[in-house]
């Protein structure tokens, strides 16, 4: 199953990463270019337990 998230802030980013960790294919979209650039570099915009670890795990999976 595929999931598309519009907005990768406090709710969207953790939801997307947990969904990816549950086996879903996730595509995230956000209008904030700085946020997207940070995420591409593996830097989450907020702190949540395991968030950075999950971001690193799924960042470059296709």
Q: How far is CA 24 from the centre of its chain?
A: 12
Cα 6 to Cα 54: distance, rounded to the nearest angstrom: 19
pLDDT tens-digit map of 7-55: 999 999 999 999 999 999 999 999 999 999 999 999 999 999 999 999 9
Predicted local confidence at residue 61, as pLDDT: 82
pLDDT of 60: 87
Residue 59 has pLDDT above 70, yes or no: yes
Residue 22 belongs to what domain range? Answer: 2-58
How confident is the model at residue 62, as a pLDDT? 63
Secondary element (H or E) of residue 25:
strand 25-29
Count the domains in the chain.
Answer: 1
- Please report the pLDDT score of residue 2 as a whole number: 96
Distances (CA, A) of 2 to 7, 10, 20, 24, 26: 16, 21, 9, 6, 6
């Amino acid at each position: 199953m595929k999931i598309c998230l519009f907005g990768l802030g406090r709710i969207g980013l953790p939801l997307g990463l947990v969904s990816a960790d549950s086996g879903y294919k996730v595509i995230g979209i956000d209008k904030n270019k700085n946020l997207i650039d940070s995420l591409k570099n593996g830097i989450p915009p907020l702190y949540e337990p395991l968030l950075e670890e999950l971001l690193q795990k799924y960042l470059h999976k296709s």
